Amino acid sequence: MESIMSGLLAGSASDIEQRRCELCTVRPLAVCGSVAMDRSACLAAIARGAQLAAGEPLFHEGDPAVEVFTVTSGMLKLSKLLPDGRRQVTGFLMAGDYLGLAFAERYICSAEAVTPVRLCRFARSAFLKLLDQFPALEKALLGRAATELAAAQQQMLLLGRKSAHERIASFVLQLAERQATKEGQWIDVPMTRTDIADYLGLTIETVSRTLTSLRKAGLITVPDPHHLQIVQRARLVAEAGG
């Protein structure tokens, strides 16, 4: 249970290994941040572990939101669909992220595993009770929501006003940032070109072409479709256009 707390309260990506939920996995837990709590009360929240294979859906847009989740490893994508099948990926979630905003009655988007995923699942009702017991958790959640809102606005700026080159450059930089990559290190790209396209509001062909163009211009290298490396960070930042 502490891990949920720490997952929500801790921000840095460096201690991901220590965030695994002890109710869900076997891994013992590290210190639990600043929240004082009654562990047995927490245990009452009937958390359960869960795993998803790559490509497996967790829930669909419009399903009743009976559970909330925290990701302990792997990557998920959130998406929305238009009736004719056009898709918009609204975000990628990684270890430590929270899923299924506690106050909507139904999920507002679909969630699907990009890589194999491990998570903690909680009955929503139990989670809501937990919020009452631990005000600090509620504050953390509010902070999380604010962060997500800021990210959403940034993405609106990208989708509404940036060119394909700028979108791809921004995306690469964002990937690097979330992985705390140092200059020259490999960056993991777990998602497919289709996922990237649906995230950036482009087609897969444009994603592919633009990556090729950045590669040919010497800003990045792309050893295989699921790895890349930033070669000229400054020029890539310029290409990202703010």
Partner DNA sequence: CGAGAGGTTGAGCAATCTCAACGGGGGTGG
Partner DNA sequence: CCACCCCCGTTGAGATTGCTCAACCTCTCG
CB of 157 to its own copies, least distance (A): 4
Per residue in 41-56, is it b (16+ CB within 10 Å) or e — as a string?
ebeebebebeebeeee
Q: Which is nearer to its own copies, 11 or 184 (CB)?
A: 11
CA 14 to chain centre: 15
DSSP 59-103: E-TTSB--EEEEEEES-EEEEEE-TTS-EEEEEEE-TT-EES-TT
Answer with the entry of its own copies, DNA, none that 211 interacts with (C-beta below 5 to 8 A by kind): DNA
Q: Which is nearer to its own copies, 41 or 150 (CB)?
A: 150
Q: Should residue 136 be labelled a site residue for its own copies when binding is judged by CB under 8 A?
A: no
Kindly report the CA angle at 103 between 135 and 139, in degrees rounded to 5?
25
Residues near DNA (CB under 7 A) are: 163-165, 192-194, 201-209, 211-212, 222, 225-226
Answer with the entry of DNA, its own copies, none that 222 interacts with (C-beta below 5 to 8 A by kind): DNA
Structure token pair of residue 118: 């491990």
Q: 10 Å Cβ neighbour count for 136? A: 16
CB of 204 to its own copies, least distance (A): 14
DSSP 102-142: TT-SB-SSEEEESS-EEEEEEEHHHHHHHHHH-HHHHHHHH
CB of 110 to DNA, least distance (A): 16
Rounded distance between C-alpha atoms, residue 198 and residue 99, angstroms: 20
Answer with the entry of its own copies, DNA, none that 60 interacts with (C-beta below 5 to 8 A by kind): none
Site map 82..121 versus its own copies, x via CB under 8 A: xxx-xxx-x----------xxxx---xx------------
Residues that bind its own copies (CB under 8 A): 78, 80, 82-84, 86-88, 90, 101-104, 108-109, 132, 135, 138-139, 141-143, 145-146, 148-150, 152-157, 159-162, 198, 200-201, 241-242
